[in-house]
Amino acid sequence: MTLSCGFGDIDKMEFEDALRELEEIVKILEEGKSSLKVSVDLYERGTMLRKRCDKILESVQLRINQISSDKNGVVSVEPVEMEI
């Protein structure tokens, strides 16, 4: 099995693209048909993709936490600089 989504720049990937590629890497590794070198390379990339997904999710959580309401129930959103 080969990756269908290629090896793009992880730091510029959207969450869905990074997760999709990570899932493909897991499938390849689970098959156990790759050489040791390819398996290690895929594992390394998978680790970087997981970190990218974690970073995006942490940023989204921070943004969600900035949404608040006052005592009258008025919802406000504090602007947050998202560094993804």
Q: What is the pTM of this model?
A: 0.74
- Under DSSP, the state recorded for 59 is H
Q: What digits encode the pLDDT tens for the residues 4-50? A: 555 689 999 999 999 999 999 999 999 999 999 999 999 999 999 99
Q: Which of 37, 35, 56 is nearest to 48 (CA)?
A: 56
Q: What digits encode the pLDDT tens for the residues 57-83? A: 999 888 877 777 677 878 777 666 656
